[in-house]
């Protein structure tokens, strides 16, 4: 399977507010948006985990950065933080069929590290982290169903206009 363009780079942080200020200064990002997450069901190493995840998105031009803070039971984010400290965790790609994308990458020797579902502003979101090993940079595959049968691809203005319209994002900085 050929993946399309990278949607964003995910960075695991301990304190998302401090990180947004720090990365904002370094990369010249003056607007950050928090993704609205409802009804999160997260599975890490095939076990359901009770955890909270806070996600901020910012960017310049077509380049987006995701900041990730987590609390609760162990998951891919907390394990990464314990093993390596803050840093780049994944590159993300939108996919139209998550199962097909997972099967394709499994044929290339990757395995699912973590997967989850949640709702955001009326959209149903499913994602999976895949890698050859957990310690390296992983690939995030995300399938977002905006309306029944309508799967989101790369959408310009997803954090600003469309995010406000659907309630998926709210500006935090």
Q: Is 50 exposed, middle or buried (0-12, 13-18, 19+ CB in 10 A)?
A: exposed
Q: What is the pLDDT of residues 45-75, one digit of tens each?
A: 999 999 999 999 999 888 899 999 999 999 9
Determine the pLDDT at residue 159. 53
pTM of the model: 0.87
Task: Write down the CATH number for the domain with range 8-171.
Answer: 3.10.180.10
Of 19, 5, 116, residue with least CA distance to 68: 19
Q: Which residues, including other chains, have CB under 8 Å from residue 172's CB and lie 6 or more apart?
A: 20, 32, 33, 34, 56
Q: Which residues, including other chains, have CB under 8 Å from residue 21's CB and lie 6 or more apart?
A: 173
Residue 33 has pLDDT above 90, yes or no: yes
Residue 12 has pLDDT above 90, yes or no: yes
131 three-class SS: strand
Residue 88: CB atoms within 10 A of its CB come to 13
Contact 35, 55 (CB under 8 A): yes
Determine the pLDDT at residue 98. 96
Pairing mode, strands 150-151 and 63-72:
unpaired
Residue 156 has pLDDT above 80, yes or no: no
Determine the pLDDT at residue 167. 66
Beta bridge partners of 93: 141
| pLDDT bracket for residue 162 (50, 70, 90) | low
Q: What is the pLDDT of residues 79-135, one digit of tens each?
A: 999 999 999 999 999 999 999 999 999 999 999 999 999 999 888 999 999 998 766
Determine the pLDDT at residue 133. 74
């Amino acid at each position: 399977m050929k993946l399309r363009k990278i949607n964003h780079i995910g960075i695991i942080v301990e304190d998302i507010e401090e990180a947004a200020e720090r990365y904002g200064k370094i990369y010249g990002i003056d607007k950050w948006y928090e993704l609205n997450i409802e009804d999160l069901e997260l599975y890490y190493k095939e076990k359901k985990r009770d955890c909270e995840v806070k996600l901020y998105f910012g960017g310049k031009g077509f380049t987006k950065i995701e900041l990730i803070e987590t609390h609760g039971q162990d998951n891919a984010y907390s394990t990464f933080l314990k093993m390596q400290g803050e840093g780049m965790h994944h590159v993300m790609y939108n996919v139209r069929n998550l199962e097909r994308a997972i099967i394709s990458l499994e044929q290339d020797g990757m395995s699912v590290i973590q997967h989850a579902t949640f709702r955001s502003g009326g959209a149903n979101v499913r994602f999976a982290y895949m890698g050859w090993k957990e310690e390296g940079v992983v690939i995030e595959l995300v399938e977002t169903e905006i309306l029944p049968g309508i799967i989101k691809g790369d959408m310009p203005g997803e954090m600003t206009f469309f995010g406000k319209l659907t309630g998926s994002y709210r500006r935090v900085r």
